[in-house]
Amino acid sequence: MPGSTTSARLLSGLLIGAGVAHFVAPRQFDAMVPRSLPGSPRTWTHLSGLAEIAVGAAVAHPRTRGAGALAAAGLFAAVFPANVKMAYDWRHRPAPLRAAALARLPLQVPLVLWAARLHADGSAAGPRRASLTRRHSAPSVK
């Protein structure tokens, strides 16, 4: 499944890159944290960055790819409210910034679908790959 391997690498890179950005440039993410959440926005920024890095790592590894892709779909859906908040907060900013904030909203749909497709590919290949490995491996010596 070379196509799904490339797709997994790309999705993993996107997630890990976004997660690292939460630590490198946290202020932009702090501003997206809803004020109704308890604690400091920076804590939520760091937690969400860690989540993206962990999910990206899970997607990268073939054994955890299916579960990681499912987690990625959930993560993409979970950050949608933050993107809505950003679009609302940026409604009075210059047109290019408003457009960028609004463009994030429909972008979530293909991201969720991409992760869901990778999950389906990983789930379909997982058990089959495991059974092939068992069949073709050397017998265990006891």
52-104 pLDDT, tens digit per residue, is 999 999 999 999 999 999 999 999 999 898 889 889 999 999 999 999 999 98
Strand residues in 13-124 grouped as ranges (E)? none
Output the pTM of the full model: 0.79
Q: How many Cβ atoms sit within 10 Å of the Cβ of residue 58?
A: 20
**pLDDT of 141 over the 80 cut:** no
**pLDDT of 112 over the 70 cut:** yes
Residue 32 pLDDT grade (very low, low, confident, very high; cuts 50, 70, 90)? confident
Cα 95 from Cα 89, distance rounded (Å): 13
* pLDDT confidence of residue 123: 64
